[in-house]
Amino acid sequence: MVKLATARESRVYGSRRSRERWEYTNAGVYVFSTIVFLCGFVAQLSREAKSGLVVLLIGLGLILVVNIHDLVAHLAAINYRFRLMELDSQLLFVEVAVPALQALGALLFFMALLLLVLQVDRGFGYDKMEAHVLNLLIAGTSLWVVGSIHNSCQIYERADASLQILQHAVQIPFLMASFLFLAGAIVNFLEQRGHTHHGLNLLVRTYSYRWVWTGIIGSLLLIIGGLANVVKVVKMLQMEGEIKLEIFRGGAQDQLLQQQDDDFF
């Protein structure tokens, strides 16, 4: 769901030890957030569906934080010189757009569930709030799909074959999960047409758990992608001194290094 691992060798946070710590933390927090996300959907099958929504909110909050961190890290790699993105389409459409889209999608998803929780607690604005919840769910998951498609467009001129395989092992589950979440949101929206449901029944009904089951399967795919990403991060950080992922010739980071060399001399 999010492009977690380093896209290029020059993505750093300072010293090598600091870089490794942040990379491991980033990947580990994402896996934890997907597990929390899965638990939230499973809880929807119990009698404590409201508590499941709260767990989903926690998982979404963690996913949002990871994506924001990833976005900031990629921008830091070019010293926040946004004009350099004009020289590098992959930096713009993958390394910046993907975490931005995923973060915005997570935020809309979070807002939809938060409105639902508030409705359950306070019971106000049924009709208008229900429409907002359904629309926000579709909008948020749609952004996840777009972000996952952008992520799947990432290419390398040179890269280790095993890293390419691991990259696909991350991309494909995230893409499938995003489509499942979107399909669940659309199906749930269509089921609401011609019916009147309030509160938790807007997503979970005794005769229909389609949204819940698509969410469970999607969460499992996110866990698989997150675990593959952990393996990828570990492998990349252990390959010290080997060419793994290049700085694109003529790209943003290449231009940044040239400017730094010119400033030095």
Q: Retrieve residue 151's tokens.
A: 């992520």
- Of 141-145, 154-158, 189-193, 207-211, give the lowest mean pLDDT range: 154-158
Spell out the long-range contacts of 252-258 with Cβ–Cβ below 8 A and sequence spacing 24 or more. Answer: 252/78, 252/81, 252/84, 252/85, 252/87, 252/88, 252/91, 253/8, 253/10, 253/77, 253/78, 253/84, 253/88, 253/91, 255/84, 255/87, 256/78, 256/79, 256/81, 256/84, 257/10
pLDDT tens sequence across 158-206: 566 777 788 888 889 999 999 999 999 898 888 776 555 555 555 655 4
132 or 193: whose pLDDT is higher?
132
pLDDT tens sequence across 54-109: 899 999 999 999 999 888 888 877 777 777 777 777 778 888 889 999 999 999 99
pLDDT tens sequence across 218-230: 999 999 999 998 9
Contacts of 58 (CB under 8 A, 6+ apart): 36, 40
pTM: 0.82
Contact between 4 and 229 under an 8 Å Cβ cutoff? The reply is: yes
Selection from 51, 53, 60 nearest residue 1 by Cα: 60
